[in-house]
């Protein structure tokens, strides 16, 4: 077994001294996952909110399906996106395979069900609370979706963070559609997989610790923003 302490200090040093290769990998990881989460939010939040307030046959089944898709295996998503983007696939002409865009697409497929399902839950509770008021104002169920989403915004931050956690941590999908190409599609998780396969277990573990550090930093930042928004909300009220 290698000396974990020395490898860890080596990895920390790489970050602190601004090793350009490692920083590029960290930045690309954040770009891909943040993009995926934002696109997922644009799709997932309205869908989740609509499912929360609409009443139609099959709604229950759709909600169950959406909840189940939260556990969609990343490797399967990677394969599906690969088959779509391959030159032999229907979208091959777009030449998107082995690009960061392909990785964003794969992570969006993974994250959208999470954000939609969590939004559905948050908005459904809020809609019950508001139902009297909305009815008295004569607002239809679907027309109330933007209002409900806006009022639930602070609770929905948690949905975004859950989605981000899933995106930044997964390796199965991005390694298939990104190809782990150096300086092009190599992100934190695929680097960890690569170092593990080289037998550099301590370095891989140290990179994992850095990845956790990034996740903590992002969560802390969002938490600070949310707290400030809450306080502003109280002052205005």
Give the residues lining the site for another protein (CB under 8 A): 1-2, 28, 31-32, 34-35, 38, 86-89, 92-93, 95-101, 104, 153, 179-182, 184, 194, 196-201, 225, 229
- Residue partners of 184: CB distance under 8 A and separation at least 6: 98, 99, 100
Residue 123 CA to residue 145 CA, distance in Å, equals 9
> 154 or 215: whose CB is closer to another protein?
154
Tell me the CA end-to-end span of the chain in Å, nearest whole number. 59
CB of residue 154 vs another protein: minimum separation in angstroms? 10
For residue 173, which of 97, 68, 79, 71 has the smallest C-alpha distance?
79
Count the Cβ atoms, other than its own, within 10 Å of residue 22. Answer: 17
What are all long-range contacts of 58-63, with beta carbons under 8 Å and residues at least 24 apart? 63/117, 63/120
> 66 or 107: whose CB is closer to another protein?
107
> 27 or 64: whose CB is closer to another protein?
27
Q: Specify the DSSP class assigned to residue 149.
A: H
Count the Cβ atoms, other than its own, within 10 Å of residue 100. Answer: 18
> 31 or 121: whose CB is closer to another protein?
31
> 112 or 180: whose CB is closer to another protein?
180
* Cβ atoms of 210 and 8 closer than 8 Å: no
Can you read off the two tokens belonging to residue 62? Answer: 């759709």
> 66 or 195: whose CB is closer to another protein?
195
Q: Specify the DSSP class assigned to residue 141.
A: T
CB of residue 38 vs another protein: minimum separation in angstroms? 4
CB of residue 96 vs another protein: minimum separation in angstroms? 7
CB of residue 108 vs another protein: minimum separation in angstroms? 11
């Amino acid at each position: 077994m290698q000396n974990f302490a020395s490898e860890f200090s080596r990895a920390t040093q790489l970050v602190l001294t601004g090793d350009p290769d490692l920083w590029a990998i960290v930045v690309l990881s954040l770009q891909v996952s943040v993009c995926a989460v934002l696109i997922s939010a644009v799709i997932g939040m309205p869908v989740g909110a609509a499912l929360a307030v609409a009443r139609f046959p099959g709604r229950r089944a759709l909600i169950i399906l959406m909840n189940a898709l939260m556990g969609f295996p990343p490797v399967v998503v990677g394969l599906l996106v690969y088959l779509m983007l391959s030159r032999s696939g229907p979208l091959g002409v777009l030449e998107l395979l082995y690009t960061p865009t392909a990785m964003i697409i794969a992570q969006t497929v993974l994250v959208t069900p999470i954000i939609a399902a969590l939004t559905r839950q948050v908005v459904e509770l809020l809609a019950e609370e508001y139902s009297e008021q909305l009815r008295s104002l004569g607002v239809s169920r679907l027309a109330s979706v933007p209002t409900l989403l806006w009022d639930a915004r602070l609770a929905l931050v948690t949905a975004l963070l859950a989605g981000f956690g899933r995106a930044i941590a997964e390796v199965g999908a991005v390694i298939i559609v990104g190809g782990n190409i150096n300086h092009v599609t190599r992100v934190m998780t695929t680097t960890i997989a690569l170092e593990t396969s080289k037998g550099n277990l301590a370095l891989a573990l140290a990179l994992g610790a850095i990845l956790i550090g990034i996740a903590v930093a992002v969560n802390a930042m969002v938490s600070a923003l949310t707290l400030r928004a809450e306080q502003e909300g109280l002052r205005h009220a």
